[in-house]
Structure 1
């Protein structure tokens, strides 16, 4: 927790049942490879999407739709573009309604293909995938009931992926994600085993293998598989060097993408590559100051938090405190509520730094504030532990 944040295990439990086989353009239900026309053009569009070059993406999509009106791929890829826009500013509520309404429009368009006997199965696959994106949004907004309703639709797809009936490199992304989390979560939360009885068993080793396979050999799911594989290695497996290598590759390939940049910086800090992390965050902050698209001003809170981490690792405590304090700048409205976690993280880290500076009085103040705020990644437990240590030092006469 001291170097990164992640989705909670409970959120992943629901997410795994939604994301299975939501990777685009996987395989037809009869097991034959899915080879849409001009797949290289679709790949170019995906590259534009991941690099946030939506103008070029849009031009290429229009040409593809004009050349292949009988295929649903040109319609469905818009769902990926929409989701990437959301992901760059996931805490911002202003996109929620726009995203849901636009996805409903895309689903309506995809349903028109169901009248074509040859395209009916293909269209159904993409409709389910589009519904999956809606479900993922429910998860990110902690709307668990709505997310669970959507997730129930994925059971059949889970079984097909695991059994190899949808056997190509992209399909391994869905099976890998499911198998990994279906293995680790029941072990961590035994009470949840009963809820997973209707689902196939998990297999952590195979899950990691499937994700790595898609990251290396996938076509349309290669980037998202590499991204998720990197995050799992980092946040769950403590294989930070491997994760950093993958994320650095994504960031190099898509230099305008703030998601890959921020994770790369987080991993660099964990590895002690503070010079690299500082370089990344200065580029990120410069783009915020220049008001570049997808680098909104409220992201300064996260940037300042990362700066604080960097200088903490360098033992430059005065600079660390300075940046953590900047991360406390108020943000109004619902957006401020959703970004509260970074205020909590900053206060917690400030407490640690003050302890190292032998200023237990100031550390206590920060830990007590953490207890009054929302609980993120067991932040209250960490604060209580350190308050006990401070109290023990006070009793022993060794406090700062």
Structure 2
């Protein structure tokens, strides 16, 4: 059982990815700009020859702490600072865009939760309206085009999560349009490279994984996954505004697509170290520790996640609990403590149902393990109930469904 523990993580990624195909289809359309730099003492004070606010090094220095607070889920502090910028620059899209980013990270923790959608979109619309006015006044304004690309890109990401395909396609098309128009300003190049990187990678990845979409992708220029990864690494090293976003995509691709778990761990460890209160980075770090077999460290981080959920810490909720409880259950299974393993498999089920994640791999495999445990204990009626749930929530081709069927047949349940 434990020789295949990496497969649990891989399968979770695979089937959640299949469920969210729409998101994948629009990721490379987004010129996402959430990744602000963190090292304030490395930002030089120098002139801003283009008079673009984004390229004002003094402002970059000033907002670094606020951006760090946002990433570390101290939204109250971040938004106070964003409000000051809004007071100073009321007609500029940057303050509203920063506010939208804060709500995007609230959404990112559990994308099935729609409670922040309206306010996120409202701030994005305010930002794009201001950017559009700037662009209408001067169509050579690269900064205005940059914000329009970013705003429409983020709209596309959310609409694809909500399966609003027409809106997602419209937003993605506009993102590409304004991304092209924002080219030509040398100092913007590291930021714009993120859009190129995502396009290069996913324009190849999509037809490889979804052959039916090959005719659609044939309408676009040829890409290169290798070049896309190289560009993402360059952005992660050199960009100011898109650095963290590039790291986010890198560790996800390293973990699920590129089969480079140690590289995924390296990045998630860095991000968790920089932003220890960010639940998304925290659970990703625990997950990648689990993947490479660093069990005790993964369990330690997972217990901390559960403690923060119980303490109702900002951003820590049932979705993160589902991950953490599963890793702990697997550990106790490994050290042959069935009582504790059962306790945390049950917690995984509870968190999965609370977050309505019954189709997720961790939820389904927890049901399988509980079914096996109850069979061994002679509780066949309860075991049947667990396997019945597996067959209810898993598609027939899902490995958990297959494993449940095989076990039922072998043990004549």
1:341 aligns with 2:347: no
- The range that moved more, 190-199 or 89-98, is 89-98
Q: Among residues 385, 389, 394, which one is paired with 2:406 in the alignment?
A: 389
Alpha-carbon distance, 1:81 to partner: 1.7
Distance 1:200 1:61, change over 3 A: same
> Equivalents in 2 of 1:34, 1:163: separation in Å?
15
* Count of matched residue pairs: 384
Contact 2:394/2:401 (8 A) holds in 1: no
Residue of structure 2 in register with 1:144 after alignment = 165
Alpha-carbon distance, 1:355 to partner: 4.9
Residue of structure 2 in register with 1:2 after alignment = 8
Alpha-carbon distance, 1:330 to partner: 7.8
Contact 2:28/2:202 (8 A) holds in 1: no
Alpha-carbon distance, 1:2 to partner: 0.9
Distance 1:270 1:314, change over 3 A: farther
1:182-213 Cα distance to aligned partner (Å, 9 max, x none): 11221222221101122222201111111111
Residue of structure 2 in register with 1:49 after alignment = 70
Alpha-carbon distance, 1:382 to partner: 0.8
RMSD: 3.6
> Equivalents in 2 of 1:227, 1:274: separation in Å?
23
Alpha-carbon distance, 1:149 to partner: 2.6
Alpha-carbon distance, 1:39 to partner: 1.8
Residue of structure 1 in register with 2:26 after alignment = 15
1:115-162 Cα distance to aligned partner (Å, 9 max, x none): 543885422331332222222112222333322232223444677899
> Equivalents in 2 of 1:381, 1:44: separation in Å?
45
Contact 1:176/1:207 (8 A) holds in 2: yes
Contact 1:14/1:151 (8 A) holds in 2: no
1:161-192 Cα distance to aligned partner (Å, 9 max, x none): 99998972222222112211211221222221
Map 1:59-74 → 2, pairs under 5 A: 59-69=80-90, 71-74=92-95
Contact 1:350/1:366 (8 A) holds in 2: yes
Residue of structure 1 in register with 2:47 after alignment = none
> Equivalents in 2 of 1:8, 1:165: separation in Å?
35
> Equivalents in 1 of 2:64, 2:219: separation in Å?
36
Unaligned runs of 5+ in 1: none
> Equivalents in 2 of 1:186, 1:313: separation in Å?
39
Contact 2:145/2:182 (8 A) holds in 1: no
Residue 115 of structure 2: SS of its match in structure 1?
A: helix
> Equivalents in 1 of 2:405, 2:79: separation in Å?
57
Unaligned runs of 5+ in 2: 1-6, 37-49
> Equivalents in 1 of 2:185, 2:55: separation in Å?
18
1:105 aligns with 2:126: yes
Map 1:77-116 → 2, pairs under 5 A: 77-114=98-135, 116=137
Map 1:211-226 → 2, pairs under 5 A: 211-226=232-247
Residue 111 of structure 2: SS of its match in structure 1?
A: coil
Moved over 6 A (4+): 158-167
Distance 1:372 1:36, change over 3 A: same
> Equivalents in 2 of 1:35, 1:68: separation in Å?
15
Distance 1:313 1:142, change over 3 A: farther
